[in-house]
Amino acid sequence: MAIRDVKSQCNRSLKQQAGMSLIELLVASTIGILAIMAVGSMFISGQKLATERSLKLLVLQNMNDAMRYIKEDAQRAGFNGNNGSSLILSGASEVITVTSSAVGATLAYIYENNNGDITYTKFTGDTGTKKLGICTKTNISRVSPVMPTCSAIGEPGLSLMDDSRVILSQFVIDETPLGNSVSSAYFTITMKAKLASPPTSGQDYEQTMVTKIKQRNWQ
């Protein structure tokens, strides 16, 4: 009868088990590292996308607020109480006066406010200064309403955007008369804006926005 070397067999079995455990540990560690890298990569990508959306939203919110203000105020252009006619700046042929240049455009008009005073408003989009500003003055003469000099009352006046974060890159106004030019007109404003200080070169998140304004006929 052969006598088995039980101790030797046990030692070999333990060594085999230890070897298998080490390999499994290495495999598990590798899988764990890969999983952590994948999750980390997804997290970084998610953070990057969230940052991009946030910056785009910042630009769009500034543009939307500015455009909405212009559109709402321009709806009052020419209002003359119950006099049955439209107020027009002295020397102007239209209720809303548009002036275009190589660096932008202006939109100017007058109207009677809630207090019965005549208010002058001018919006100026200037890609030279990279600003979209509003200049206003009240108590303009009703008999001969002359366009005041905005530089005398603090031009460019108030900015419609947060200039420290968002700057103007284009401001164009196209006008289409409806009927006779005094009674009504249709304006299309195209604006582009971008980040004042892009996080990286080439990522200024420039956005384009177009709004259409129909001048009211107060006659």
The reported pLDDT for the residue numbered 154 is 43
CB 81 within 8 A of CB 116: yes
Instruction: Note the pLDDT of residue 151.
Output: 53
**Alpha-carbon distance 95 to 88, whole Å?**
5
Look at residue 156 in the predicted model and tell me its pLDDT: 47
Confidence at residue 155, expressed as pLDDT on a 0 to 100 scale: 47
- Three-class DSSP category at 212: strand
Res 43: pLDDT? 63
d(CA 76, CA 121): 10
Instruction: Give the three-state DSSP class for 160.
Output: coil
Would you state the pLDDT for residue 164? Answer: 93
Residue-range domain boundaries for the chain? 51-215
Provide block-wise average pLDDT over 10 residues at a time, the chain (219 residues): 51 51 73 75 70 89 96 92 81 87 92 87 93 84 61 60 95 85 80 92 91 82
> Contact 209/64 with Cβ under 8 angstroms?
yes
φ/ψ of 204, rounded to 5, equals -95, -5
Tokens 């321009």 appear where? Answer: 74
Q: How far apart are CA 99 and CA 172, in angstroms?
A: 10
